[in-house]
Structures are given as C-alpha cells and as structure tokens.
A and B are shown apart, each in its own frame.
Chain A
Amino acid sequence: MTAFSVLRMALRSIRASRTRSMLTMLGIVIGVSSVILLVAAGHATSAAVESKLEALGTNVLTIYPGGDDSFGGFEGGDEPQLGARDVDAIRAVGAAGGVAAAYPVLSPSSVTLSTGTRSLTAGEFSGAPAGYLRTTNVRFSQGAAYTSADDSARARVIVLGSTAATRLFGPGRAVGRSLTANGVRFRVVGVMRPRGAQLGDNTAAMAPYTATRDNIAGPTAPLASIAVQTTTRTATRTARAPIAAALRASRRLPADKANDFSLFDQAELLGTTDTIAKVLRLVLAGVAATSLFVGGMGVMNIMLVTVVERTREIGIRKAIGARKQHIVAQFLTEAVVLCLSGGVAGIVLGLTAAAIATAATGYAATVGPGAIALALGVSVAVGMFFGYYPANRAASLQPIDALRHD
C-alpha cells in the first residue's frame, strides 16, 4: 500500500461526507487560528512595548507639578508650579545622585502654526532643550533636530510631526521653509519620523526651550514638566530620593507638608501594559488549547462513527489481506488529513485576523513561517492523537464479525 493511495482514499472518504467533515473541522479551525493569533499578538504587543519605550526614551524620570494626592484640588490658593529654579536644583544633584541631565519642558496650549495660506493647531507644542530630543529618542525623517547652539542662540527654529509637515507644506517640502507660531516666525529644520498611531502626536511641533519661552509661552510661564535623564536604568529608582530632597529644598517645603510635585517613570507603566498583554496571551492560549481539544474530540467522535459505518468495508479489506497496520494507516491518515485541512483553514483565518489587527492598531502583528509550521505541526499532532484510538479500534475488528455487519 503506497502512501499516495492511502492519501487518495482518505481524501475520497472525506469528500464523500463533505458537510460532516467541515463541521468536524470547525473546532480545529478555531484552535489553529487561535494559535496563529497567539503568535501574532505576542509580536504585536512586544512591538507596541518597544515602540512606546523608544518614544518615552530610556532612563527618563519625569517630574510633574502637583503631589500624588493633588488631583482633588489644592488647599490654600496657588497651584504648585515648576520653574527654572527647580531644574537647577535637580541638576545640582549630579551624577553622584544618579542625575545625568535635567530638561525643562514648556507646553503652551493652542499654538497655531501657519504658512500664510495654510494653518493648523499643533496637537502638542513642546519647548525643550536639544538634549530632550535625544533623551526621548525623537527621530527624523527629513532634516535634523535643533542643536544646543540653537538653544543658546535663542534661534527660532522648529521641528514638526510628520502629519503637521505634510498638511502645512505638502509631502517632503517642509525643511528650510518658514512658518509662524502664534504669529512669530520660525524656520523648519526637521520633520519627525511618524510614530505609532496610539501615540497620536504626528501633528506635534517642538522648538528650543529658549525660543519658546521668549516668543510663545512668555518668561513667567510655568514648566509643564521636567525631564530627568538618569545615569543608569536602575537610577530611575535610586535617584528618586535625592531628586525629591533637592526639590523640597528648592521649593522650601516644610517637613510637615507633602510633596507638591510627583515623579513618574513612564517605562515602569509599561510593565502594566506588558501584564495585560500576558493575560491576553494566556486567554488566547486557553482558547487555542480548549478548541483544539474539543476539536480533537470531535474528530475522534466522527472517526468512531466512520469506523462503525465502514465496518463491512474493513471486513472486506481484512479478508483480502489488509494487515492491522494497513487499517490503522488508512484511518489515521483520514483523521490527520481532516485535522490538517482544518489547520490550513485556521491558518488562513488567523492570518486574515492578524492582518486586520495590524491595520487597526498600527502594530505589526506579524506571523512568521515558524508559527505556520507550528500550526501545521499542531494540526497533525491533534489528528494523530485523536485518530489513534478509532484507527486502532478499526484495525482490531475481527474480519469474520466485520463481514457479517450490515
């Protein structure tokens, strides 16, 4: 009995009961597509985490005005504000305390960018020193970042988000051109590379801290935040205490008052995202395992029915010389082909879903050839595992009893 003729027989009997075969495959289809989605989701979440980490920059602590419990309002008048003095205090902590650099960030609201003919409101306008761009890993598709020299020269230069640049100047033509920000002329030096859709800041614009303070925000404007670059990754934790102490001193907070500022390590928040992704993956793995098991049981069930239906055929085959292995091979092949067909359908379904997810989230939910091989392997294994018992049952029928069966 050649493998080819065994395969041909299996395909023929599966085709003979098409509806039943398709219904049987359903569980396998769902199971295998879950396996594919599982892999895709793994890729997508790690891509998402990486892109966020990249956007946030590494080893960055951000200080915001207002204490941890300040969201309900402030007792006694003025909202706490961050100023240049606080930046100097943090810088004074120095490398010994884990601080490599500190950057003031201005964030004036509703800044209108205009070329005279076209205008838009920047999604977010940040005024920060050149070092801040490096620390937060801002990358450029055209032109380049402004420099420290621009900071000290109070140069009116600006970098634009990719969407803002296209809307104002058309694709690829922004660098070197001029625009006005709230009426003050700036020269475009760079266009930022597009970021993940969820970061939503492709209409953002950034200019040096000095130029923003002098021309847009005003000399007395409070800082939106202070970005602290720590010396090492672990320093984002160890530098918290010295920074807080320095800030309390510079803000002259009495010992009985709580902090009127807060420190965030945004990379740490990603840990939460990662946990959610892990739960999602576990759920998908559960769905995959459950539906593969249920699907496998379905295959086993239908194979048992098939064995009973074809008892006479088994008798004939045995009478004319089929050995046990021939019968086992025949029914096992049928179960495996059934599962493999379901597996292929599941892969197609899974890849389609992954492509839709990629389009919807902007994160590449890629599925490599390894995952497809895994899915095919799983299908074959399910067919082997759940087909073995029915096939063995068929093979151990006595020819004389099987021939008597109607």
Chain B
Amino acid sequence: MNGGPNPVVDLHDVRRRYELGGETVHALRGVSLRVDRGEYVAIMGPSGSGKSTLMNIVGCLDRADAGRYLLDGTDVLDRTEDELATIRNRKIGFVFQQFNLVTRASALENVELPLAYAAAGRRDRRRRAEDALRTVGLAQRMDHLPSELSGGQQQRVAIARAIVTNPAMILADEPTGALDASTTADVTALLQELNDAGRTVVVITHDDEVGEGAQRIVSLRDGAIADDRATVAVARQP
C-alpha cells in the first residue's frame, strides 16, 4: 500500500520541541511518515517516546516547529486556529481514551455535534447521526446521557461521533486505555470493522493487543521512528 497516490497523512521531517522548566525537550526529532488511504496503522512506543506529540500534530491539535505536513493533500502548517478547527472537523474523527463526550448532551446530540459545527441542516444531522450510532450498534441507546452508558458504550458513541462526518482518517488515542478486557476486544473489533469498510484508522496505543489488530505498527523511541513493520494481520488478509 505504501507509495500509493494521495496519502492521508504525509509527514516529512517533522520536529517539535518544548521548553519545560528552562530545559528544551525534543519531543519529535525529525519524523517522516506516510499513511495511505484505507490503512490501519498503530503508533506505539513507551511513554516519553513522543507518540502523544505525534498524535497531536497528526490531529492538527498542535503545530510542528519544522517540517511539512500534508493531511489528505492539504498543507496544514501555517493555518489559523479557525482554519485548523475546520480541517479537524472535516478530515479527522477523534477517539479519545477518556471518551470525551459532552456530559449534558444525549448520545445522539453528541454525535450530531461535529455536524452542527459543520453547519449541516437539522434533518440531515439527525439522519447521519442515527446512521452512525446504528453502525456502532447503539441504535437503542440514542437518547441516553453519557452517564447512563457503560464505558464501552460511551466509547462507541465517541466512535460514532468520529465517523459521522465521514472524515479522511479516524485518529484514536489510547481508545481502550480506560476499558476492561472484554470491552477492549469489542472496541478493537469495531475499529477493525471500520477499517474493513474502507476507513483509514490511525491508533496511538501502548497496548500490544490493539497494536496487533493493525496492519502496520510504527514504533517510536526518543522522538524518532525506530521501527515500521507490517503485522501478522496483514498476512491474514487475502
């Protein structure tokens, strides 16, 4: 798949450093990474390896100090904050470790939210949100508040919210970090299904089980890519 046209993520020599208590921390020391359409990539590495920084830059939540980043063919460096918000809204579906649902809004309203910011019409919003919730198997729980849902269900709402805008990529940050073993398996299977349906999935994790579900594992160490290999999952594929 590498080398195909129009990669979803195209990072070239991306660098990021922070000033922390008078000390300069080099979180990323020149990372180049391509993720092609339809890929399922796991980014792994111990804490402090720079994977969170990478996730923030790939997710357009943070900006690189140097390098080049094309997201779905669009150069996202030197964009204003509002432009980045629109890019996140259109191109990226976030799944967070802590689910990050709006607590006072129902499952349906949470899933509608990105569409609301994209100024979609009321009916259109509702229909697409219902479709997304059906896809993640929560058709019966649409009107529940997050507090009335289990952790696994909340994460599925978050996944529904991530796919509702039909983004170029689903970006999951430790999606199973707050879940027990059986729900971890559910969520992993759901991500797998979404990838099977053609969606590009990038997951940041330190959980080997989640990583093994991907086609490709990118290992980070000390702010640089240490290893980039295909997994057994690829061998299983036809």
How many Cβ-Cβ contacts under 8 Å join chain A to chain B? 62
- B166: shortest Cβ distance to chain A, in Å? 13
Residues 82-108 of B, flagged 1 when their CB comes within 8 A of A and 0 if not, give: 100110111000101000111111000
Give the residue name and chain of the B residue nearest to A326 (CB): B117
User: Interface segment, B56-64, B148-156, B184-192, B205-213?
Assistant: B56-64
Residues 326-356 of A, flagged 1 when their CB comes within 8 A of B and 0 if not, give: 1000000000000000000000000000000
Task: Give the residues in chain A near B161, CB-CB below 8 Å.
Answer: 320
Task: Verify if A313 is at the interface (C-beta below 8 Å from B).
Answer: yes
Task: Verify if B81 is at the interface (C-beta below 8 Å from A).
Answer: yes
Interface pair B117/A403, CB less than 8 Å apart = no
Interface pair A320/B104, CB less than 8 Å apart = no
Task: Give the residues in chain A near B117, CB-CB below 8 Å.
Answer: 1, 317, 320-323, 326
Interface pair A403/B96, CB less than 8 Å apart = yes
CA distance A114 to B113 in the complex (A): 84
Task: Give the residues in chain A near B82, CB-CB below 8 Å.
Answer: 323-325
Task: Give the residues in chain B near A322, CB-CB below 8 Å.
Answer: 85, 117
Interface pair B116/A2, CB less than 8 Å apart = yes
Interface pair A319/B94, CB less than 8 Å apart = yes
Within A249-274, which residues are at the interface with B (CB < 8 Å)?
none
Interface pair A318/B56, CB less than 8 Å apart = no
CA distance A326 to B90 in the complex (A): 16
Task: Verify if A198 is at the interface (C-beta below 8 Å from B).
Answer: no
CA distance A400 to B105 in the complex (A): 22
Q: How large is the interface on B (under 10, 10 to 19, 20 to 34, 35 or more residues)?
A: 20 to 34
- Contacts A2-B122, A400-B56, A400-B62: A321 and B102 contacting too (C-beta < 8 A)? no
Interface pair A320/B62, CB less than 8 Å apart = no
- B9: shortest Cβ distance to chain A, in Å? 17
Task: Verify if B119 is at the interface (C-beta below 8 Å from A).
Answer: yes
Interface pair A319/B90, CB less than 8 Å apart = no
Interface pair A403/B100, CB less than 8 Å apart = yes
Interface pair B102/A400, CB less than 8 Å apart = no
Interface pair A313/B103, CB less than 8 Å apart = yes
Interface pair B89/A321, CB less than 8 Å apart = yes
Residues 1-18 of A, flagged 1 when their CB comes within 8 A of B and 0 if not, give: 110010001001100100
- B103: shortest Cβ distance to chain A, in Å? 7
Interface set of A (CB-CB < 8 Å, partner B):
1-2, 5, 9, 12-13, 16, 312-313, 315-326, 399-400, 403
Not counting A316-B100, A321-B114, a sample of 4 additional A-B residue pairs whose C-beta atoms are within 8 angstroms of each other reads A319-B100, A321-B117, A321-B165, A323-B85
26 contacts between A and B (CB under 8 A): A1-B117, A2-B122, A5-B116, A12-B104, A16-B104, A312-B100, A313-B102, A316-B101, A317-B117, A319-B94, A319-B100, A320-B88, A320-B94, A320-B113, A320-B117, A321-B85, A321-B86, A321-B88, A321-B89, A321-B90, A321-B118, A323-B81, A323-B85, A323-B117, A324-B81, A325-B82
